[in-house]
Amino acid sequence: MNPKLALFLLLPFAAAAQCNLSAYKPAPGLTAAQSGDSLVVTWTGERAEQLHAVFALKFGQPSILELAVRKTPTAKWTVLGNGLTPEFQVTTGKRRLSEQQMAPLRELGIALTPDVIEREKWFAFWDAPLSVPGRTGTNLDLPRKPEEIRHDHATFHTTTCKVESNGARLEVTFPGVELGIFSGELRYTAYRGSNLLRQEVIVSTKEQSIAYKYDGGLKGFQIQDDSTLVWRDSARGWQQYGFGGSPNQEGVGLQARNRLAILQTNGGSLAVLPPSHKFFFAREIETNLGYVYYRKDTEKSFAIGARQPEREEAFRPAGVTDAVWTRRVAEARGDIHNYALYNAPPGTSQRMAVYFYLSPRDAKTTQPDIMAYTHDDVYKPVPGFKVLVSHFHFHFNEQLSDAGMDYQPSWLPTFRALGINIAILADFHSDSHPTDIARLRLDEQKVYFEGSRRFSDRDFLLIPGEEPDANFGGHYMFVFPKPVYFTHLRKPPVAPTQPFQETIAGFGRVYHTTTAANELDLLKQENGFVWQTHPRTKGSAGYPDATRNTDFFNSDRFLGASFQSLPVDQSEKRICEGRCLKLLDDMNNWSGPKYMISEGDTYMKHPDDETYPQLVVNYVKLASVPKFDEGWDTVLKAMRAGDFYNTTGEVLLRNWSIVGKGTQSAFNAEVEWTFPPEFAEVVWGDGATVDRKILDLTTMAPLATRKLSVPFDTTGKKWVRFAVWDSAGNGALTQPVHFR
């Protein structure tokens, strides 16, 4: 036995930490055993490596007496930490309904009753609960008050634990966690086949209107001669800290690339990282705010963990001339009144998680092993598919007009480095002159189209889309299979002075829309498509529900709505479960095939941003990326056919199909995942209700590809869709297939 472990086992404990093992089932590569006042959990990781964690209780405080790893079952254990205790800190504020949501609701004549406010506030994007006093006119019930904000640290009061087998994972749970207004339990999860160890508190609150952020980690690491924290900076340069400085009062946030810091000690490594997507609430930018931390507590000990900072940080120019730079920075880099945090509705079980990764190798060798869980923060190529993203306000036309047609914007290499093949832009929203109906807008469109042509390539296509908020209600995306010149007014003039269609020298055919009817005519005539952007939130609050019976919604030109991780509720097992997925199912019960198009709805990007974890993408069935001058009709036809799926990137679908009929039907799919998988589901609707069948995947290994088959009955079904979700909250979902 390691001498340090033996020393800790001799320490006095308030009570025997006898764990309840009644739900534990011994299994190869995943074992738990009581050893006096400690619990020893051992599991097999990647490359047949052996890992173990020794848990104990000291005066009601859960502790990790030892974290260790070895390359083979007969090798010597490499101790990565001992005498460790978990730490969690939560900052809470008050969730408020935003004026951005109230404006469209008022226009629809929806009274802002207490029930409406209670329902809609949980979809707020434009909210910053920690910004005191707040900016007048942004939210209901301002100003914010300092006493609304609380900072609390977790305390633990328990005398026992519970050990439970759950497929190919083992869970160790300690009750008795108090975290300010939250209470619940602490849980550690070890996964057979993975070197990951998940530490989380699962807590709830009875308080109303709570928004929060959290930090979580481990403290008590002993500073040894070789203790070194290693990370890559935002420029991908390797950095390190040897704990030779003076003690810290607070955690030091590291702007580490890939949200990853690695402690190198005793010849091995212990990494810390947050969940790759569920950790991030919606923002308009992806500035790296520092999502991992260290804290030197004394000359002999330190802590490491994952964190969310309390506010945005404004920096970096986004233009060239002073006037353009100032305006862009103020909009896309400087507003601290939009930092919404997570939702915590009363009684929901919020899972505040952090991951540790145990390795017998040094930090630089370990880093690629960890990055395999996010494919190195790249949307991995899948044969027969191209990666498409949508809805970005880059002010491309203004950039090129300001800096010259051959100015390469910073967002372009950012997209290409992520593995993106097709990007649908959304200029003419808060930039340029979207409501101009004359030459000014047409000249700007010409720059927009030429810029998109100039920076498209053989494997990369820029599609010049637009997000009007004119006559269809709320905000929506217009996309055509080629450049189309058009103008739009939200309300028609008393006496229209322009025809619906005309030919103008230098531009060719130009359209002028003033009503929902001729907006639909434009889409039909030019084979364009439309979908509702940020449905049921932001400037589309109340939509598309309010227009579900219109001709345009029920037209085949209306593709559906956009999918984005907004809001984030850590009690949900799926990304955007309560808003996006519920709407997807509702739309397909209301009408014909409607889909979810993953969107960003973000502003400027730079290569040193942390863009990957805050983006959901579309994999579209395409043999190749079309050239700009050929048009992108093949892209839009594949989307109209539903031949694409949404994914965070960690779960990928290689193919899928429905086989059989009636009671003999099954949904088949070949699925690849990285994090340990959680479940697959077939979801269906009959035109009025929605139901699902769940296939448990907890017995399956991480970092794997499997062929799945979920039997279901098509009888009486109108449509069906398929999804797979992993244990970190990542997922992939197909579009609904209609039977009738």
Q: Is the pLDDT of residue 211 over 60?
A: yes
Q: Is the pLDDT of residue 290 over 70?
A: yes
Q: Into how many domains does the chain fold?
A: 4
**Residue 629, both tokens:** 């001058």
- Structural domain boundaries enclosing 578: 387-614+624-639
**Residue 525: C-alpha distances to residues 96, 180, 481, 556, 632 (Å):** 43, 59, 11, 13, 16
The confidence score (pLDDT) of residue 604 equals 87
591 inside domain: yes
Q: Are residues 503 and 543 in the same domain?
A: yes
55 inside domain: yes
pLDDT in tens, 684-722: 999 999 999 999 999 999 999 999 999 999 999 999 999
**Rounded Cα–Cα distance for residues 175 and 545 (Å):** 43
Which residue type sits at 649?
G
pTM for this entry = 0.94
Which residue type sits at 15?
A
**Residue 468: C-alpha distances to residues 187, 428, 430, 472, 530 (Å):** 47, 8, 10, 9, 10
**Confidence band of 13 (pLDDT split at 50, 70, 90):** very low
- CATH number (domain holding residue 12): 2.70.98
**Confidence band of 178 (pLDDT split at 50, 70, 90):** very high
Helix count (H) and strand count (E) of the chain? 12, 42
Q: Are residues 43 and 165 in the same domain?
A: yes
Q: Are residues 124 and 175 in the same domain?
A: no
Q: Are residues 102 and 211 in the same domain?
A: no
Q: Is the pLDDT of residue 666 over 70?
A: yes
Q: Are residues 85 and 205 in the same domain?
A: yes
- CATH number (domain holding residue 710): 2.60.40.2060
**Confidence band of 10 (pLDDT split at 50, 70, 90):** very low
480 inside domain: yes
- The secondary element (H helix, E strand) that includes residue 589 is helix 582-590
372 inside domain: no
- Do 216 and 306 touch, CB atoms closer than 8 A? yes
Identify the domain boundary among 101, 122, 149: 149
Task: Indicate the average pLDDT of the chain.
Answer: 94
594 inside domain: yes
619 inside domain: no
For residue 614, give the nearest of 248, 328, 385, 281 by alpha carbon.
281
**Residue 218, both tokens:** 């481990």
Identify the domain boundary among 570, 605, 639: 639
* Cβ partners under 8 Å of residue 115, min gap 6: none
The confidence score (pLDDT) of residue 8 equals 39
**Confidence band of 524 (pLDDT split at 50, 70, 90):** very high
- The secondary element (H helix, E strand) that includes residue 727 is none
Q: Are residues 407 and 442 in the same domain?
A: yes
Q: Is the pLDDT of residue 408 over 80?
A: yes
Rounded to an integer, the average pLDDT of 535-563 is: 98
- Do 423 and 462 touch, CB atoms closer than 8 A? yes
**Residue 76: C-alpha distances to residues 68, 80, 108 (Å):** 10, 13, 69
**Rounded Cα–Cα distance for residues 465 and 429 (Å):** 11
The confidence score (pLDDT) of residue 334 equals 54
Instruction: Give residue 229's Cα distance to chain centre.
Output: 27
pLDDT in tens, 58-87: 889 999 999 999 999 999 999 999 999 999
Identify the domain boundary among 317, 332, 364: 364
Q: Are residues 357 and 482 in the same domain?
A: no
pLDDT in tens, 223-257: 999 999 999 999 999 999 999 999 999 999 999 99
The confidence score (pLDDT) of residue 723 equals 98
- CATH number (domain holding residue 423): 3.20.20
377 inside domain: no
Q: Are residues 403 and 504 in the same domain?
A: yes
- Do 337 and 285 touch, CB atoms closer than 8 A? no
Which residue type sits at 613?
P
Q: Are residues 144 and 163 in the same domain?
A: no
**Confidence band of 740 (pLDDT split at 50, 70, 90):** confident
**Rounded Cα–Cα distance for residues 532 and 534 (Å):** 7
Cα dihedral angle (696, 701, 702, 708), rounded to 10 degrees? -50
pLDDT in tens, 458-504: 999 999 999 999 999 999 999 999 999 999 988 776 666 789 999 99
Q: Treating both helix axes as pointing N-terminal to C-terminal, what angle do 439-455 and 396-403 enclose, rounded to 10 degrees?
A: 90
In this structure, the chain runs to a length of 740
The confidence score (pLDDT) of residue 7 equals 38
**Rounded Cα–Cα distance for residues 355 and 274 (Å):** 6
Rounded to an integer, the average pLDDT of 27-49 is: 95
Rounded to an integer, the average pLDDT of 146-162 is: 96
378 inside domain: no
Q: Are residues 657 and 628 in the same domain?
A: no
pLDDT in tens, 100-142: 999 999 999 999 999 999 999 999 999 999 999 999 999 999 9
Q: Are residues 414 and 541 in the same domain?
A: yes
For residue 294, give the nearest of 239, 236, 342, 340 by alpha carbon.
239
Q: Are residues 201 and 319 in the same domain?
A: yes
